[in-house]
Amino acid sequence: MSNTPQRYTITAALPYTNGPIHIGHLAGVYVPADIYARYLRMQGNDVAFVCGSDEHGVPITIKAKKEGVTPQDIVDKYDGIIRQSFENFGISFDNYSRTTAKVHHDTASAFFKKMFKDGKFIEETTKQLYDENAGQFLADRFVIGTCPKCGNQEAYGDQCESCGTSLNATDLINPKSAITGETPTLKETRHWFLPLDQYQEWLDNWIVKGHAHDWKSNVHGQVKSWLNDGLRARAVTRDLDWGIPVPVEGGEGKVLYVWFDAPIGYISSTKEWAERENKDWEPYWKDKDTKLIHFIGKDNIVFHCIIFPVMLKAHGDFILPENVPANEFLNLEGKKLSTSKNWAVWLHEYLEEFPNQQDVLRYVLTANAPEAKDNDFTWKDFQARNNNELVAIFGNFINRVMVLTNKYYSGIVPKPNNYSKIDEQTIAELKAYPAVIASSIEKYRFREAQGELMNLARLGNKYLADEEPWKLIKTDKERVKTVMYVALQIASGLATLSEPFLPFSSRKLQQMLNFTDVESKLSGQEFSQWDKIATRDSLLPAGHQIKKAELLFSKIEDSQMQEQLDKLEATKSANAASSNKLEPQKDIATFEDFTKMDIRIGTIIEAYKMPKTKKLMVIKVDTGLNKRTIVSGIAEHYKAEEIIGKKVTVLANLAPRKLRGVESEGMILMTENSAGKLIFVNPDEDGVEPGTTIN
């Protein structure tokens, strides 16, 4: 731990204002960034923790078009929701700005102009994808196609989210317009490019060679792989009407590429904060002793490790990031989180459904943080971690300490007698924790750090369970004073060390232990400072009055979890229903065509799954005419034993054909319900929607 105050600029990825915040964003970026910022402040550092809404993305204009409103309406709505939910969740930004703010438009324009004036861009007329029907160029998310690197068929014009590769729209194979679905044509247009290739060697020295050991291996590895592929010039302007106008001659009708403007948002946000706080913003971005740290998710690595640093370097006035601790992704109940598919736990909904339980979600997301690999959030794990860890360990220890101190001593910290060996060991362990937890936080290992915090709670729990003051009080009242004194010191250590992780519980515990009163008695000594736990003789001196016990955490019931699981089930069905796109009506069939088909009712009399196939079932059907074999692709939807005896509709005169060596004489008519399950034709069954076809 360093005791010299240090200046830090901490940025958290700017959220897109095309949807609210969900647990994936929190686990990947905002919770770890907040733990880090809170910890650094407690160490007496000078911290600017900034963020803001990213409001210029193409998804925003697409959403506005779909909903028939203006892009400004969309960003105003989500900026409001996001801002409020961050505040209620206790993310301790020093400033939260937005990229539609004037300060940002001015800052980004000036940044571009300086680079333009210094000749840092290449100007080029190239052919870009153009949607004739929509009458507009297709950049970034306006175009979807196959990724040339990994084959993902839903890659965007600026990036493949599957492999993380940064792309130009013209790189896509089989591009399609996201507006009309049409195949675009090529049309000439003039743009400014950032020649990333000219910075290849510099990046290689700075990151690949220079940060091989202190940057996370997932980040370092990705950068290395892009550099191996070779960097190419990248357009930083677009033919769009939503964004920051290109502020130079020839830029009419064009805007800055959103990934050029967005990271400059960190600088604008710092400016906005400094102005309000009467500070100078420049040292936070220009003093080489300032440590700049970007917290992001893995999909943003290319922008924060290649494009933004090249911009900062090319501009020339700015410092470079000290570290970019990007996280992997969090999944929900085994499936990828998705804003568009509503597969998420939304922060603003959580805050309503679990009032005053911000710390539980913070705790679970940190305990399960996708620091080195993708991880899964499940409601079962959420409940277990709350009930078995926060309630049963941390909460139980604190409750015992508070209740017993009030019961035996009317809430006055007792004067200890001589320490036993166990007492001395326990106090020594307590004093070691600040350094242990700090060391993990400083390495961006937040789940390890929080694990150590819980180990301190375990230490307290075990100490009380071993010493059993509630039994001793009958035989050795003097010994109980010492035991309770030691336990109170641990409770006090927990109150301070939990602040970065569990800020709401920490504050509540500090109030219960009446910290403010200790602080005034110790005149001049900062009480809640991290290091003092290791150095001060007593954290909670004898004679100090604490307050009444209150519960820090409460049990989460099965019924609450079931509600959440039901909500996810409903989302699943809704998605299945909307993905069942209706097939267009086929060509006209004449009455003669119809009478050619011999459709009859039959009864299934035998069935077995065809060996070595996934889908095929061999079914014997009594059609009245005869008993015949039909091979049907329903094995993933029905078990053989459950269909025997069922009446089904059969197309009896379909030309026989061999499937995997078995001759199939006819077809059983099937349809699909809204959950995507193939079912025998029965229009009255739940989930069979109008328009569903029979096959």
Residues engaged in binding Zn ion (CB under 5 A): 147, 149-150, 152, 160, 162-163
Nearer to Zn ion, 164 or 541 (CB): 164
Q: Which residues pair with 256 in a beta bridge?
A: 237
Q: Which two tokens stand for residue 246?
A: 């290109």
Nearer to Zn ion, 154 or 685 (CB): 154
* DSSP-derived 3-state class of residue 391: helix
CB 630 within 8 A of CB 662: no
Nearer to Zn ion, 171 or 452 (CB): 171
Q: What is the DSSP code string of 145-208?
A: EE-TTT--TTEESSB-TTT--B--GGG-EEEEETTT-PPPEEEEEEEEEE-GGGGHHHHIIIII
- Tell me the closest approach of the beta carbon of residue 155 to Zn ion, in angstroms: 5
CB 130 within 8 A of CB 193: no
- Tell me the closest approach of the beta carbon of residue 146 to Zn ion, in angstroms: 9
DSSP 672: E
- Tell me the closest approach of the beta carbon of residue 331 to Zn ion, in angstroms: 19
- Tell me the closest approach of the beta carbon of residue 317 to Zn ion, in angstroms: 35
- Tell me the closest approach of the beta carbon of residue 259 to Zn ion, in angstroms: 17
Nearer to Zn ion, 162 or 653 (CB): 162
Nearer to Zn ion, 148 or 195 (CB): 148
Q: Which residues pair with 662 in a beta bridge?
A: 659
- Tell me the closest approach of the beta carbon of residue 444 to Zn ion, in angstroms: 27
Of 547, 428, 450, which Cα lies nearest the Cα of 497? 450
CA dihedral 177, 179, 180, 181 (to 10 degrees): 40
Nearer to Zn ion, 160 or 364 (CB): 160
- Tell me the closest approach of the beta carbon of residue 145 to Zn ion, in angstroms: 11
Please tell me the distance from the alpha carbon of residue 485 to that of residue 449, in angstroms, as a whole number: 26
Please tell me the distance from the alpha carbon of residue 475 to that of residue 455, in angstroms, as a whole number: 30
Reported residue count of the chain is 695
- Tell me the closest approach of the beta carbon of residue 28 to Zn ion, in angstroms: 20
- Tell me the closest approach of the beta carbon of residue 159 to Zn ion, in angstroms: 9
Pairing mode of beta strands 136-137, 173-177: unpaired
Report the chain's C-alpha Rg in angstroms: 32
Nearer to Zn ion, 303 or 433 (CB): 303
* DSSP-derived 3-state class of residue 103: helix
Of 627, 28, 664, 21, which Cα lies nearest the Cα of 377? 28
Nearer to Zn ion, 152 or 571 (CB): 152
- Tell me the closest approach of the beta carbon of residue 207 to Zn ion, in angstroms: 21
Please tell me the distance from the alpha carbon of residue 383 to that of residue 555, in angstroms, as a whole number: 8
Question: Distances from the Cα of 573 to the Cαs of 50, 353, 392, 583, in angstroms?
Answer: 39, 22, 37, 19
Nearer to Zn ion, 10 or 155 (CB): 155
Please tell me the distance from the alpha carbon of residue 370 to that of residue 679, in angstroms, as a whole number: 39
- Tell me the closest approach of the beta carbon of residue 225 to Zn ion, in angstroms: 12
Helices (H) and strands (E) in the chain, counts: 25, 25
Nearer to Zn ion, 163 or 675 (CB): 163
Within 443-550, residue ranges assigned H as helices are 446-467, 469-472, 477-497, 503-512, 515-521, 532-535
Nearer to Zn ion, 149 or 224 (CB): 149
Residue with tokens 């600040």: 434
Nearer to Zn ion, 138 or 160 (CB): 160
Nearer to Zn ion, 147 or 364 (CB): 147
- Tell me the closest approach of the beta carbon of residue 156 to Zn ion, in angstroms: 10
Nearer to Zn ion, 150 or 465 (CB): 150
Q: Which two tokens stand for residue 268?
A: 């604008």
CA dihedral 520, 525, 528, 529 (to 10 degrees): 170
Nearer to Zn ion, 163 or 678 (CB): 163
Nearer to Zn ion, 163 or 659 (CB): 163
Q: Which two tokens stand for residue 556?
A: 């989460």
Nearer to Zn ion, 47 or 155 (CB): 155
DSSP 141: G
- Tell me the closest approach of the beta carbon of residue 147 to Zn ion, in angstroms: 3
- Tell me the closest approach of the beta carbon of residue 149 to Zn ion, in angstroms: 5
Of 535, 628, 236, 555, which Cα lies nearest the Cα of 385? 555
CB 480 within 8 A of CB 401: no
Of 570, 554, 550, which Cα lies nearest the Cα of 562? 570
- Tell me the closest approach of the beta carbon of residue 185 to Zn ion, in angstroms: 24
Residue with tokens 């004679």: 543
* DSSP-derived 3-state class of residue 551: coil
Of 611, 631, 633, 609, which Cα lies nearest the Cα of 620? 631
- Tell me the closest approach of the beta carbon of residue 148 to Zn ion, in angstroms: 8
- Tell me the closest approach of the beta carbon of residue 230 to Zn ion, in angstroms: 17
Please tell me the distance from the alpha carbon of residue 309 to that of residue 306, in angstroms, as a whole number: 6
Q: Which residues pair with 668 in a beta bridge?
A: 650
SS3 content of the chain, % helix, strand, coil (to 5): 45, 20, 35
Of 673, 383, 674, which Cα lies nearest the Cα of 682? 673
